[in-house]
């Protein structure tokens, strides 16, 4: 499909600067732009490429000021990155949509199926499952007994959902995600062995949650592990039993959250962060990659390090970490000088 700069500007409520009738039929990176493609400039580090890109149309923020002549037509918008996301979503929605129930799917007679479903090959739907409308479940997914899946949710190939879990509306679960496996609960015994503690709770994903590939969310020992509305989890994340993650929090890959911890809303957590069990992280907290948390964190803090502490203090302390050998040498020299002065004063 082709779109003119004017059509794109109208859809995004932006303004055209250049040829409003120039057409595009694909999207490209700004440094790899070619005629007939649309690109965007959101990160200032890529500004030099706007003067050399071959792309026909560039989305830019309204406050962008060109310092050289441009060959591309600009579409000025409030937020170029968000506008690109709108266009990509529109493009994805225009693609052919999967529909129908494969003859190779296994569906329990007691399951309740909504309208306009897609169930791919070798999907298994257990007893008393409730699936809303417009749901897509790709091949080799397993949905166990008593699971509820809300309208417009998507399960990509190989997703496994254990019994009694609840998936909200508009959720996306990527390949290999496992929802509701047993929490890691074992009671130490006198003979140095361990007795398994039955995990009888479930997992609740609220609406518009996205779970990355091979991410695992354990069921609660009792009650629910809860992922609140709008949460986005990257690939390869471990969320343990009885954890709660607040609305619109985003967490990058390989983070691990131990049992019964609570993460607030609107938090941003980097990759490979480790969060100990039974601690509370406030709202709007930012945690740098590879940080390790073992105590509660107040609202709005920015922290880093392992063990993690206040970001500003860490940055100042890091200067000393890097110069630690020099500091030790200075102390040794001072000690030697003091000893020398003591000897001379006798």
Global pTM value: 0.86
Pairwise CA distance, residues 285 & 301, whole Å: 5
Pairwise CA distance, residues 71 & 66, whole Å: 11
Q: Which residues pair with 263 in a beta bridge?
A: 245, 281
3-class secondary structure, 93:
helix
Q: Write out pLDDT tens, residues 133-192.
A: 999 999 999 999 999 999 999 999 999 999 999 999 999 999 999 999 999 999 999 888
Q: Is 241 an active-site residue?
A: yes
The DSSP element (H or E) to which 89 belongs, if any, is helix 80-94
The DSSP element (H or E) to which 123 belongs, if any, is none
* Burial of 301 per CB tally in 10 Å (0-12, 13-18, 19+): middle
3-class secondary structure, 341:
helix
Length reported for the chain: 346
Q: What is the DSSP string of 277-339?
A: TT-EE-TT-EE-TT-EE-S-B-TT-EEEETTEEEHHHHHHHHHHHHTHHHHHHHHHHHHHHHH
Whether the Cβ atoms of residue 153 and residue 133 lie closer than 8 Å to each other: no
Whether the Cβ atoms of residue 227 and residue 166 lie closer than 8 Å to each other: no
Task: Please report, in tens digits, the pLDDT of each residue of the chain (346 residues total).
Answer: 789 999 999 999 999 999 999 999 999 999 999 999 999 999 999 999 999 999 999 999 999 999 999 999 999 999 999 999 999 988 888 888 899 999 999 999 999 999 999 999 999 999 999 999 999 999 999 999 999 999 999 999 999 999 999 999 999 999 999 999 999 999 999 888 999 999 999 999 999 999 999 999 999 999 999 999 999 999 999 999 999 999 999 999 999 999 999 999 999 999 999 999 999 999 999 999 999 999 999 999 999 988 887 888 888 888 888 888 888 899 999 999 998 888 887 7
Q: Write out pLDDT tens, residues 322-336.
A: 888 888 899 999 999
Q: Rounding to the nearest 10 degrees, give the CA dihedral for residues 102, 103, 108, 109.
A: 110
CATH of 100-313, one of 2.60.40.1930, 3.40.50.300, 2.160.10.10, 3.40.50.12780: 2.160.10.10
- Name the active-site residue from 49, 174, 208, 241: 241
Question: Domain limits of the chain?
Answer: 3-94, 100-313, 318-345
Give the per-residue pLDDT at 118: 98
Q: Which CATH class is domain 3-94?
A: alpha beta
Give the per-residue pLDDT at 344: 83
What backbone phi and psi angles, to 5 degrees, belong to 238? -115, 120
For the chain, how many helices (H) and strands (E)?
4, 40
First to last CA, the chain: 94
């Amino acid at each position: 499909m082709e779109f003119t700069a004017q059509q794109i500007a109208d859809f995004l409520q932006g303004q055209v600067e250049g040829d409003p009738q120039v057409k595009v039929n694909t999207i490209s990176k700004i440094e790899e732009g070619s005629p007939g493609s649309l690109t965007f400039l959101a990160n200032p580090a890529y500004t030099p490429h706007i003067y050399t890109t071959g792309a026909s149309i560039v989305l830019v923020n309204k406050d962008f000021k060109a310092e050289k002549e441009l060959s591309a037509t600009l579409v000025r918008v409030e937020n170029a990155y968000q506008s690109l996301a709108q266009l990509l979503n529109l493009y994805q929605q225009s693609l052919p949509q999967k529909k129908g129930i494969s003859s190779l799917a296994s569906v329990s007679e007691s399951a309740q199926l909504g309208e306009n479903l897609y169930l791919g090959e070798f999907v298994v739907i257990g007893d008393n499952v409730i699936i809303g409308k417009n749901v897509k479940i790709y091949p080799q997914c397993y949905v166990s007994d008593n699971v509820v899946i809300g309208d417009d949710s998507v399960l990509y190939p190989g997703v496994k959902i254990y019994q009694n879990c609840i998936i909200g509306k508009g959720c996306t679960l990527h390949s290999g995600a496992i929802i509701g496996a047993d929490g890691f609960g074992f009671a130490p015994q006198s003979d140095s062995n361990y007795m398994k503690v039955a995990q009888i709770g479930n997992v609740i994903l609220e609406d518009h949650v996205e779970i990355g590939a091979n991410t695992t969310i354990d069921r609660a020992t009792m009650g629910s592990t809860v992922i609140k509305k709008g949460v986005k989890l990257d690939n390869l994340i471990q969320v343990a039993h009885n954890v709660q993650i607040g609305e619109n929090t985003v967490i990058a890959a390989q983070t691990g959250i131990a049992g019964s911890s609570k993460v607030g809303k609107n938090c941003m957590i980097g990759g490979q962060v480790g969060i100990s069990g039974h601690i509370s992280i406030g709202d709007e907290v930012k945690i740098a990659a590879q940080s390790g948390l073992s105590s509660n964190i107040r609202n709005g803090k920015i922290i880093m390090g392992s063990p993690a502490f206040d970001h500003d203090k860490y940055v100042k302390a890091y200067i000393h970490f890097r110069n630690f050998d020099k500091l030790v040498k200075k102390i040794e020299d001072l000690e030697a000088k003091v000893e020398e002065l003591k000897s001379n004063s006798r």
